[in-house]
Amino acid sequence: MKRIFAYLLPVLALTAVLSAPIPAAAQAGDTQAEPATESPPESASEPAKPSLSALLTRLGDASFDEKAAIVDEIAASGDPQAVPLLRALSGGNLYVRASDGLAAVSKGEEGSETYTSLTGDPVEAEGLEKVRVNNMLRRKVTAAVSRLGLLSPKADVRLTSARAAFLEHDEEMLPLVEEALAKETDSGVKTALQQVRAAIALTSSGVTDDAVVAAIDVIKDRGDEDARNLIKPFTESENAKIKAAAVRAANAINTSLGYWAAAQNAWYGLSLGSVLLLAAVGLAITMGVMGVINMAHGEMVMLGAYTTYVVQDVMHSIAPALDTVSLVVAVPMAFLVAGLAGVAIERSIIRFLYGRPLETLLATWGLSLVLQQTVRTIFGPTNKTVISPSWMSGAFEIGHLTVTYNRLWIIIFSLAVLGLMMALLRYTRFGLQTRAVTQNRRMAAAMGIRTDLVDAMTFGFGSGIAGIAGVALSQLDNVSPNLGQSYIIDSFMVVVFGGVGNLWGTLVGSMTLGIANKFLEPYAGAVLGKIFVLVFIILFIQRRPRGLFALKGRALEG
Amino acid sequence: MTPAVRTALFGGASIWLLGLIAALAVIVPAMNLLMPPDSAFHLSAFAVTLIGKYLCYALLALSVDLIWGYCGILSLCHGAFFGLGGYAMGMYLMREIGDRGVYGNPDLPDFMVFLNWKELPWYWYGFDNFGFAMLMAVVAPGLLALVFGALAFRSRVTGVYFSIITQALTFALMLAFFRNDMGFGGNNGMTDFKDILGFSVQSDGTRCAIFVITAIMLAAGFLVCRAVVHSKLGKILISIRDAESRTRFVGYRVEHYKLFVWVLSACIAGVAGALYVPQVGIINPSEFEPANSIEAVIAVAVGGRGTLVGGIIGGVLVNAVKTFFTGTLPDFWLFALGAMFILVTLFLPKGVIGLFKKTGGIGVKLPGLGKLASGAAKEAKP
Amino acid sequence: MIGTRIKSAVKKGTVAAAFLLAAATSALTPIQSARAADSGTIKVGILHSLSGTMAISETTLKDVMLMLIEDQNKKGGLLGKKLEPVVVDPASDWPLFAEKARELIQVQKVAAVFGCWTSVSRKSVLPVFAELNNILFYPVQYEGEESQRNIFYTGAAPNQQAIPAVDYLMKEEKVKRWVLAGTDYVYPRTTNKILEAYLKSKGVAEADIMINYTPFGHSDWQTIVASIKKFGSAGKKTAVVSTINGDANVPFYKELGNQGIKAQDIPVVAFSVGEEELAGIDTKPLIGHLAAWNYFMSVKDPGNADFIKKWQAFTKNPKRVSNDPMEAHYIGFNMWVKAVEKAGTTDPDKVIDALIGIAVPNLTGGYSAMLPNHHITKPVLIGEIQGDGQFEVVSKTPGLVAGDEWSDYLPGSKDLISDWRAPMSCGNFDVKAGKCLGAAAK
Would you state the pLDDT for residue B309? 92
Cβ distance of B175 and A500 shorter than 8 Å: no
Query: How far is it, in rounded angstroms, from Cα A352 to Cα A360?
Result: 9
Would you state the pLDDT for residue C6? 44
Return the HEC string of C201-249.
HCCCCHHHEEEEEECCCCCCCHHHHHHHHHHCCCCCCEEEEEECCHHHH
Q: Would an 8 Å CB–CB cutoff place A100 in contact with chain C?
A: no
Query: How far is it, in rounded angstroms, from Cα C246 to Cα A137?
Result: 30
ipTM of the complex: 0.87
User: CA angle, B23 as apex, B22 and B26 as ends, to 5°?
Assistant: 90
Q: For residues A97 and A128, is the Cβ–Cβ distance under 8 A?
A: yes
Q: How far is A47 from chain C (nearest CA, A)?
A: 34
Main-chain dihedrals φ then ψ at residue A97, nearest 5 degrees: -95, 120
Average per-residue pLDDT for chain C: 87
Query: How far is it, in rounded angstroms, from Cα C30 to Cα B324?
Result: 8
Half-sphere exposure of A369 (CA within 13 A, CB side): 23
State the amino acid at position A70 in one-letter form. Answer: I
Burial of A258 (0-12, 13-18, 19+ CB in 10 A): exposed
Would you state the pLDDT for residue C97? 95
Report the SS3 class of residue B103: coil
The chain C residue lying nearest A523, using CA atoms, is: C223
* Residue B62 covered by a domain: yes
pLDDT tens digits for C140-164?
999 998 999 999 999 999 999 999 9
Would you state the pLDDT for residue C19? 53
Question: How many of the other CB atoms lie within 10 Å of CB of C258?
Answer: 25
Which range of residues forms the domain containing residue B149? Answer: 7-35+43-289
Q: For residues C235 and C266, is the Cβ–Cβ distance under 8 A?
A: no
| Alpha-carbon distances of C293 from C67, C101, C411, rounded to whole Å | 23, 28, 26
Q: For residues B245 and B255, is the Cβ–Cβ distance under 8 A?
A: no
pLDDT tens digits for A262-308?
999 999 999 999 999 999 999 988 887 777 888 999 999 999 999 99
Cβ distance of C20 and B357 shorter than 8 Å: no
* Residue B338 covered by a domain: no
Residue A166: which of A137, A201, A208, A134 has the closest Cα?
A: A201
Would you state the pLDDT for residue A551? 60
Q: Would an 8 Å CB–CB cutoff place A363 in contact with chain B?
A: yes
Q: For residues B322 and B228, is the Cβ–Cβ distance under 8 A?
A: no
The answer for C 213-242 residues in CB contact with B (under 8 A) is 213, 215-216
Average per-residue pLDDT for chain B: 87
Residue C436: which of C419, B60, C283, C254 has the closest Cα?
A: C419
Q: Would an 8 Å CB–CB cutoff place C397 in contact with chain B?
A: no
CA B44 to chain centre: 25
Average per-residue pLDDT for chain A: 82
List beta partners, residue A102.
A97
pLDDT tens digits for A509-557?
999 999 999 999 888 888 899 999 999 999 999 888 888 887 655 444 4
Length of chain A: 558
Residue A208: which of A241, A169, A247, A183 has the closest Cα?
A: A241
H/E stretch holding C418: strand C416-419
Question: Which residues, 6 or more positions from A275, have their beta carbon under 8 angstroms from its beta carbon?
Answer: A410, A414, A472, A473, A476, A514, C220
Main-chain dihedrals φ then ψ at residue C412, nearest 5 degrees: -70, -25
Cβ distance of C263 and A138 shorter than 8 Å: yes
Query: How far is it, in rounded angstroms, from Cα B274 to Cα C97?
Result: 19
Q: Would an 8 Å CB–CB cutoff place C90 in contact with chain B?
A: yes
Checking if the pLDDT of B189 tops 60, the result is: yes
Q: Would an 8 Å CB–CB cutoff place A380 in contact with chain C?
A: yes
Q: Would an 8 Å CB–CB cutoff place C439 in contact with chain B?
A: yes
Cβ distance of B338 and A370 shorter than 8 Å: yes
Question: Which residues, 6 or more positions from A139, have their beta carbon under 8 angstroms from its beta carbon?
Answer: C264
Q: How confident is the model at residue C36 (pLDDT cuts 50, 70, 90)?
A: very low
Query: How far is it, in rounded angstroms, from Cα A257 to Cα B265?
Result: 53
Would you state the pLDDT for residue A31? 39
pLDDT tens digits for B305-326?
898 999 999 999 999 998 888 8
pLDDT tens digits for A352-399?
887 777 788 889 999 999 999 999 999 988 888 888 888 888 888 888
Q: How confident is the model at residue A108 (pLDDT cuts 50, 70, 90)?
A: low
User: CA angle, A118 as apex, A114 and A122 as ends, to 5°?
Assistant: 35
* Residue B273 covered by a domain: yes
pLDDT tens digits for C342-367?
999 999 999 999 999 999 999 998 99
Burial letters for B64-80: b for 16+ Cβ neighbours within 10 Å, e otherwise?
A: bbbbbbbbbbbbbbbbb
Query: How far is it, in rounded angstroms, from Cα B78 to Cα B83?
Result: 8
H/E stretch holding C336: helix C324-343
Residue C156: which of C13, C271, C277, C306 has the closest Cα?
A: C271
Would you state the pLDDT for residue A8? 44
The answer for C 94-123 residues in CB contact with B (under 8 A) is 94-96, 98-100, 102-103, 106-107, 118-120, 123
- From A14-18, A155-159, C137-141, C381-385, the region with the lowest mean pLDDT: A14-18
Instruction: List CB contacts (< 8 A) between C10 and chain B.
Output: 12-13, 16
Q: Which of C13, C31, C437 sits opposite B15 (nearest CB)?
A: C13
Would you state the pLDDT for residue A78? 67
Strands A114-117 and B190-191: unpaired
Cβ distance of B338 and A367 shorter than 8 Å: yes
Q: How confident is the model at residue A66 (pLDDT cuts 50, 70, 90)?
A: confident
Q: For residues B290 and B167, is the Cβ–Cβ distance under 8 A?
A: yes
pTM of the model as a whole:
0.87
Query: How far is it, in rounded angstroms, from Cα C238 to Cα C264?
Result: 10
Query: How far is it, in rounded angstroms, from Cα A476 to Cα C254?
Result: 7
Q: How confident is the model at residue B382 (pLDDT cuts 50, 70, 90)?
A: very low
Query: How far is it, in rounded angstroms, from Cα A409 to Cα C365?
Result: 48
Q: What is the DSSP string of B225-238?
A: HHHHHHSHHHHHHH
Q: For residues B328 and B335, is the Cβ–Cβ distance under 8 A?
A: no
The chain B residue lying nearest A536, using CA atoms, is: B168
Q: How confident is the model at residue C209 (pLDDT cuts 50, 70, 90)?
A: very high
Could you say which DSSP state residue A150 is in?
G
Query: How far is it, in rounded angstroms, from Cα B87 to Cα B144?
Result: 14
Cβ distance of C259 and A404 shorter than 8 Å: yes
Q: Would an 8 Å CB–CB cutoff place A348 in contact with chain B?
A: no
Q: For residues C161 and C441, is the Cβ–Cβ distance under 8 A?
A: no
Burial of C364 (0-12, 13-18, 19+ CB in 10 A): buried
Main-chain dihedrals φ then ψ at residue A538, nearest 5 degrees: -60, -45
* Residue B342 covered by a domain: no
Cβ distance of A393 and C219 shorter than 8 Å: no
Residue C380: which of C365, C368, C397 has the closest Cα?
A: C397
Could you say which DSSP state residue A556 is in?
T
Q: Which domains does chain C have, with CATH numbers?
A: 9-157+301-378 (3.40.50.2300)
User: CA angle, B364 as apex, B358 and B369 as ends, to 5°?
Assistant: 55
Checking if the pLDDT of C34 tops 60, the result is: no
Q: Average pLDDT, stretch C126-151?
A: 94
Q: How confident is the model at residue A36 (pLDDT cuts 50, 70, 90)?
A: very low
The chain A residue lying nearest C261, using CA atoms, is: A394
Q: How confident is the model at residue C439 (pLDDT cuts 50, 70, 90)?
A: low
User: Taking each helix axis from N to C terminus, what angle separates B290-303 and B309-328, rounded to the nearest 10 degrees?
Assistant: 120
Torsion of CA A151, A156, A159, A160, to 10 degrees: -100
Instruction: List CB contacts (< 8 A) between C51 and chain B.
Output: 333-334
What Rg value do the Cα atoms of chain B yield, rounded? 21
Question: How many of the other CB atoms lie within 10 Å of CB of A427?
Answer: 10
Residue B68: which of B370, B268, B311 has the closest Cα?
A: B311
Count of domains observed in chain B: 1
Neighbours of chain A (3+ CB pairs under 8 A): B, C
Report the SS3 class of residue A207: coil
pLDDT tens digits for B227-279?
999 999 999 999 999 999 899 999 999 999 999 999 999 999 999 999 999 99
* Residue B78 covered by a domain: yes
Burial letters for A84-121: b for 16+ Cβ neighbours within 10 Å, e otherwise?
A: bbbbbbbbbbbbbbeeebbbbbbeeeeeeeebeebeee
Q: How confident is the model at residue B331 (pLDDT cuts 50, 70, 90)?
A: confident
Q: For residues A305 and A471, is the Cβ–Cβ distance under 8 A?
A: yes
Would you state the pLDDT for residue B369? 38
Question: Which residues, 6 or more positions from C294, have their beta carbon under 8 angstroms from its beta carbon?
Answer: C156, C160, C161, C324, C327, C328, C362, C364, C378, C379, C380, C381
pLDDT tens digits for B4-49?
777 777 777 788 889 999 999 999 999 889 888 888 888 888 899 9
Query: How far is it, in rounded angstroms, from Cα B334 to Cα A485?
Result: 15
